[in-house]
Chain A
């Protein structure tokens, strides 16, 4: 070991993997929250528990004997249905009360994680990590975590991009966000659009949970707050644009967390991520994409 220099080629590869893992984790955790916040202006503080519902659905059906991909589908379906129920009973009444919607969904989060504890106990068994691992010099990384998840993240973002820009759903959803009155006058059922958007956000949260399930080890009911914080921070750092915002925030935060985790430890990585988020919010109150939008606006005015 003594012959390895301070920063070898292996280290660069490991650092790159570390970054990809953090990036995928943050982006997946955040995107569902970003859809609901960016499109509807509601911050769902039960988002961490939504992800957890997806993870529980996946793990329980996997242990019941389903193959992993099918179990993941079950996880996503359960979370989507759950999201629809929450929208109809709680969130629906709070669309123009941002702070109240935060507080109410926080109440939901507290109740939900405790309910998971009561029903399923303090943890459920882990799912083995699929796809094996690759060794880089003295280190070994899981292929699923370091390569498949980042890839899945990009595919998901691409899919969402197409959905929002190339389909009638996307156009109607955007119209509803921009100007609900006019959208209604043009025959868009805005109430249904809100429900559909919330369901979409829930489904992506469920997908995140399903994809995370094998990486978590034993799945515990208090994991929700872990997802929530990363997601929350990424959404506000990213700013109003759902896809670009999530990607850029996950890039910046993933890099910070990856570097500090690599050179110090996971505690330092997490703290660096949070501290960077605080300063980013102070410097760019509208997030990265809000700042870019601002710059573009100014340039247009000058031209």
Chain B
């Protein structure tokens, strides 16, 4: 193929070298077609704010913030085999932590450091819970239950913090009514840049901030799952006992996966709270805890891009239906979940990949441009 176009061949090998760490058996989309479409999608995301009004852009930013939550469950469940119903616990703890920090240190420096601090608190919580479970030999369905119950404990606790005694510094936790944080600012000293709020400009900046973080996170996760540590993760998912027999420290690996997942969920929680300058105990409720499982199951639990796509698609569908006053969103989401589990247990992404491969084989081999077409359906959901 590349005989006729020598310079193009060198370009390819450079591209191949850059691509190498991002590719491997544990991720879908290891083809040139995928990366062409991926770059196209990134370009589209950069242009996207020009096409929509600030209100829509704000909603889209929220979907992407929730995408971190989906990625965290995708890593923990899809690659680590640990079905956690409690990712929202870390999400919410970090969200509350950021809110409290932003109220008490309402400066650009305070809030920037607050991101680090809040993610650290959420991550520490996941580390402690993970240590408690995995070094105690808790497995399978019992992990699922402990994680869910942890979220529900937080829900019960936060719901009763309405009284005036529940104050941290100058932040009132607010019980069921939730807590209003400050508008998000990034910077050091007096050189803060305001993100979020209601005027178009900060919304635009916040959008780019979240999208850039999401793309970096996605690529970093691709590297992680295709690394040798990623292989160990998948080995444990496939057969825990056998992996232990080979001398791997299974509780340790699980703890690391769970903690990374907790960090991702925490980051999502901070971005989510900063997005609306608001957080309430409903993030710990069972209906919210169900959502990451829905996104990940439908998107395809072993496809990082699939779960982000599913998150955006499902949240967009919910918002659109709610906008028309329809109450059917949850019925559709629940029905979709049952349907996917029964008909395509691995989720939608592998189906799309298979369809893409099938089309690639059908098409004449030279036209890369056209080969990109089928997979673009997959990324269209992400827009």
- Write the residues of chain A forming the contact surface with B, with a CB cutoff of 8 angstroms: 43, 90, 93-94, 97-100, 102-104, 106-115, 117-118, 222, 225, 228-229, 232-233, 236, 265, 267, 270-271, 274-275, 277-278, 281-282, 285
B293 and A103: CB pair below 8 A? yes
Query: Could you say which residues of chain A place their CB within 8 Å of the CB of B139?
Result: 285
Query: Could you say which residues of chain B place their CB within 8 Å of the CB of A100?
Result: 341, 345
Residue-wise interface mask of B (130-158) relative to A, using a CB-CB cutoff of 8 A (1 in contact, 0 not)? 00110011111110111011101100110
Query: Could you say which residues of chain A place their CB within 8 Å of the CB of B329?
Result: 114
Across the interface, A278 reaches (CB within 8 A) one of B150, B335, B345, namely B150
- Give 6 A-B pairs besides A98-B141, A267-B156, A285-B142 with Cβ atoms closer than 8 angstroms: A90-B342, A110-B287, A274-B152, A277-B149, A282-B138, A285-B139
Query: Could you say which residues of chain B place their CB within 8 Å of the CB of A102?
Result: 83, 141, 144
Query: Could you say which residues of chain A place their CB within 8 Å of the CB of B152?
Result: 229, 274
Q: Does B334 contact A (CB under 8 A)?
A: yes
Min CB–CB distance B171 → chain A (angstroms)? 21
> What CA separation (Å) do A278 and B143 show in the bound complex?
10
Known interface pairs A114-B331, A118-B328, A285-B139; A103-B149 also in contact (CB < 8 Å): no
Q: Does B348 contact A (CB under 8 A)?
A: no
Query: Could you say which residues of chain B place their CB within 8 Å of the CB of A285?
Result: 136-139, 142
> Which 9 residue pairs of A and B lie closest in terms of their CB atoms, listed nearest first?
A111-B334, A107-B337, A110-B334, A114-B330, A104-B341, A107-B338, A225-B286, A267-B160, A107-B334
B331 and A118: CB pair below 8 A? yes
Known interface pairs A229-B152, A278-B149, A285-B138; A103-B327 also in contact (CB < 8 Å): no
A107, A118, A267 pick with most chain B CB within 10 angstroms? A107
Known interface pairs A111-B330, A225-B287, A282-B136; A236-B145 also in contact (CB < 8 Å): yes
Q: Does B253 contact A (CB under 8 A)?
A: no
Across the interface, B145 reaches (CB within 8 A) one of A90, A106, A233, A265, namely A233
Q: Does B113 contact A (CB under 8 A)?
A: no
Q: Interface residue tally of chain B, by bracket?
A: 35 or more
A94 and B341: CB pair below 8 A? yes
Across the interface, B297 reaches (CB within 8 A) one of A90, A103, A115, A278, namely A103
Cβ contacts A to B, 19 pairs, < 8 Å = A43-B141, A93-B342, A99-B141, A106-B290, A110-B330, A111-B333, A111-B338, A114-B330, A114-B331, A229-B286, A232-B148, A233-B145, A274-B153, A278-B146, A278-B150, A282-B132, A285-B136, A285-B137, A285-B142
B146 and A282: CB pair below 8 A? yes
B149 and A274: CB pair below 8 A? yes
B140, B142, B160, B341 pick with most chain A CB within 10 angstroms? B341
Across the interface, B335 reaches (CB within 8 A) one of A111, A267, A277, namely A111
Min CB–CB distance B130 → chain A (angstroms)? 12
Min CB–CB distance B314 → chain A (angstroms)? 12
A114 and B337: CB pair below 8 A? no
B338 and A104: CB pair below 8 A? yes
A109 and B342: CB pair below 8 A? no
Query: Could you say which residues of chain A place their CB within 8 Å of the CB of B157?
Result: 267, 271
Query: Could you say which residues of chain B place their CB within 8 Å of the CB of A90?
Result: 338, 342
B145 and A281: CB pair below 8 A? yes
> What CA separation (Å) do A18 and B128 show in the bound complex?
34
> What CA separation (Å) do A213 and B307 show in the bound complex?
40
Query: Could you say which residues of chain B place their CB within 8 Å of the CB of A265?
Result: 160
Known interface pairs A99-B144, A285-B137; A108-B149 also in contact (CB < 8 Å): no
> What CA separation (Å) do A43 and B142 show in the bound complex?
11
Query: Could you say which residues of chain A place their CB within 8 Å of the CB of B136?
Result: 282, 285
> What CA separation (Å) do A102 and B153 show in the bound complex?
21
A93, A109, A232, A282 pick with most chain B CB within 10 angstroms? A282
Query: Could you say which residues of chain B place their CB within 8 Å of the CB of A233?
Result: 145, 149
> What CA separation (Å) do A275 and B141 show in the bound complex?
17
